[in-house]
Amino acid sequence: MFAVTKTNSKRTIGGKALVKKTIFNMTCRSLYFNQNSLMLLRIIAVFLCFSASFSLSAQKSSKPVPSGPLSPQALEQLQGIEDTLGVLGYAIVNDSIEAERFAACKVFITTLVRALKTENSFQYPFEQIKTVSILTPPDSSFRIFTWQLFVNDSTYRYYGAIQMNERQLKLFPLIDRSFEVKTFPANDIMTADKWYGALYYNIRQFDTRKGRKYLLIGFDAFEFFEKRKIIDVISFNKEGIPSFGDPVFDHGKDAPARNRIYLQYSADAKVRLNWDEQYQMIIMDHLIPWESPYGKGTTAVPDGSYDAYRLDKGKWIYVDKVFDDKQKDVPFPDPILETRKEKDIIGQKKGIWGLERRNKKQ
């Protein structure tokens, strides 16, 4: 375990003891929660509190001013806070004690918001926070933070925030409500305070007749034996308020368009779902039913083939078996024995050496 600290304006590497000290210098060790639900509710309450305050400030602002360069003072301040965020982020993912993971997550939220309140903070990359995904689309209109909190072997919670590209902070905290959903919300429109949580690892912008939208590709740890990968869509209305989900996934005339896509598969399987730059498509493993080795009924695993989504006029068109190449004849290598008849043991054509010898004798 390591931690990054700031000493005399230089970054140094510390040990596990430094991680513990940093967390509990910022939180009271007596805040030990006896129930997971109470811990999670308090963390969510922190985000909801910030959500209300920033939504109100967003409504009061008329014309947003894009972010500009960071001042030297702002840069120094953000570097110091980033060191703390790096330590807290590492503890959220790696600490073996449940209560300390929860405490680190709670303090991480308040510390992150304090950092983002710095003028022009949108320009700061936060490269030292290795356990948090920070994605920015090519148009740099916003960036989205997401991270995962491990609760226990079968429970995970996701946290996130959308920061708009403005000089003063405009933030939309994301409140994970996926645990309240019995079935995957493939056709729902969801809001920032009712978000299907995931750890996003890729973002793609695309244009439609209704305006610009963004694909978010992410991972959901879901349950102990089952995992999910998802494709969601984020867009902003005229007031700049984000929403998730849009009927842009086209599966043909006989099937309704979907607002978001998911693959659910066995935790033992490795499943691909990502944008492929070479083929200019979203490539994903084709899954087939498979009996769970843990007695959990039927699960899904890849069969070695791939499906895809291809962008066409603002819609993502489903492509079945994208690499389904067929040949008339079965591939067969050159017959070694047949070619060997024409050559001798050293690879020369038969008869050449014999002719040369006869010519020399004559």
What tens digit of pLDDT does each residue of 79-126 get? 999 999 999 999 999 999 999 999 999 999 999 999 999 999 999 999
* 15 lies in some domain: yes
- What's the structural domain count of the chain? 1
User: Where residue 350 falls among pLDDT bands split at 50, 70, 90?
Assistant: low
* 126 lies in some domain: yes
Helices (H) and strands (E) in the chain, counts: 6, 17
Helix, strand and coil content of the chain, in percent to the nearest 5, comes to: 25, 35, 40
- Segment 127-146, tens digit of pLDDT: 999 999 999 999 999 999 99
- Judged against a pLDDT cut of 90, whether residue 35 lies above it is answered with no
Contact, 312 vs 276, CB < 8 A? no
Lowest mean pLDDT among 50-59, 125-134, 223-232, 342-351: 50-59
- Judged against a pLDDT cut of 50, whether residue 205 lies above it is answered with yes
Alpha carbon distance 22, 16 (integer Å): 10
Q: Which two tokens stand for residue 194?
A: 């009712």
User: Where residue 24 falls among pLDDT bands split at 50, 70, 90?
Assistant: very low
Long-range CB contacts (within 8 A, 24+) of 72-79? 74/118, 74/119, 74/120, 74/121, 75/124, 76/9, 77/118, 78/115, 78/118, 78/121, 78/124, 79/6
User: Where residue 11 falls among pLDDT bands split at 50, 70, 90?
Assistant: very low
In this structure, what DSSP letter does residue 9 have?
Answer: T
* 118 lies in some domain: yes
What is the pLDDT at residue 317? 97
* 137 lies in some domain: no
Average pLDDT of the segment spanning 257-275? 97
Radius of gyration (C-alpha) of the chain in whole angstroms: 28
* 4 lies in some domain: yes
What is the pLDDT at residue 14? 47
Residue 66's SS3 state is: coil
Domain range spanning residue 21? 1-132
User: Where residue 197 falls among pLDDT bands split at 50, 70, 90?
Assistant: very high
Alpha carbon distance 187, 178 (integer Å): 14
* 269 lies in some domain: no
Residue 176's SS3 state is: strand
User: Where residue 163 falls among pLDDT bands split at 50, 70, 90?
Assistant: very high
- Judged against a pLDDT cut of 60, whether residue 33 lies above it is answered with no
* 225 lies in some domain: no
What is the pLDDT at residue 343? 62
- Segment 165-176, tens digit of pLDDT: 999 999 999 999
* 56 lies in some domain: yes
Average pLDDT of the segment spanning 336-351? 58
- Judged against a pLDDT cut of 60, whether residue 153 lies above it is answered with yes
- Segment 213-242, tens digit of pLDDT: 999 999 999 999 999 999 999 999 999 999
Query: By C-alpha distance, which of 53, 42, 123, 112 is closest to 81?
Result: 112
Which residues fall within 8 angstroms of residue 121, CB to CB, at 6 or more apart? Answer: 67, 70, 74, 78, 115, 163, 169
Q: What is the mean pLDDT of the chain?
A: 83
